[in-house]
Homo-oligomer: A and B are copies of this chain.
Amino acid sequence: MAKENKEDLTKERILDSAETLFAQKGFRAVSVREITSAARCNLAAVNYHFGNKESLYLEVFRSRWVPRARRVQESFRKSLAAQDSTSPEAVVSALAKAFLEGPLSDEERLRHSQLMTREMTQPTKAFEHVAEQIMQPFFQELADKLGSVLPNELEEEKMLLNIFSIFGMVLYFNFARVAVSRLTGEKYNAAFRDRLVKQITEFSLKGLNVNDEEELQ
């Protein structure tokens, strides 16, 4: 091996360009030539390093998407630990901030939610990996944390649906940036992003509040 240690430059550059292009256009709409051209390497490099195009796509999720998702989760936990972690406000606010103002750059956040949205609309082999490794455990963690701080006891399914509602909003405000900007007339910048975090937090908090609840069911 030439350079086993440190980062293998070509392989890493391919993964970088591949992730960006797959997120922007989707798997089928991106050609191997486009990827290798952006990564400034030879066409055959993809097949040499990853076998084929599909394996490259899966590797993007394994070595890029999943670690990034972990970073976001870690940021959520830290943000929560820093606050008074016994209130629903703290949990929801930490969640919104982790996903809209967390450790990722705006570009990274866009790519991240674009890839996730793609997998949710038409799951590939990558979805199983993502669901098991990231989503399932994180939603469980959220349910536990919220369950321990919410005043009323909630059945598990209801708690999960609440989390989905919040998460749907978070995802939506990330992947539908263009549409939201277009329809509000506001440019997507730091100020508007802050506005969105506030919106998600306030809306979700009220949505979670089960004070005035006495369902008939």
Contacts and interface: CB of A to CB of B under 8 A. Distances in A.
Contact of A204 (B120, B172, B179, B207): B207
A131 B179 contact: yes
A69 to B, nearest CB: 14
Interface stretch (A45-53, A54-62, A193-201): A193-201
A169 interface: yes
Interface string A1-37: 0000000000000000000000011111100000000
Contact of A28 (B26, B171, B178, B180): B26
A182 interface: yes
B165 A203 contact: yes
B117 A183 contact: no
A87 interface: no
Interface in A193-217: 195-196, 199-200, 202-204, 206-209
A44 interface: no
Contacts of A195: 157, 161
A105 interface: no
Interface string A111-150: 0001001111111000100010001100100000000000
Contact of A29 (B27, B136, B196): B27
Contacts of A206: 206-209
7 contacts: A25-B28, A135-B179, A161-B196, A164-B180, A167-B172, A168-B171, A168-B172
Interface of A: 24-29, 114, 117-123, 127, 131, 135-136, 139, 157-158, 160-162, 164-165, 167-169, 171-173, 175-176, 178-180, 182-184, 186, 195-196, 199-200, 202-204, 206-209
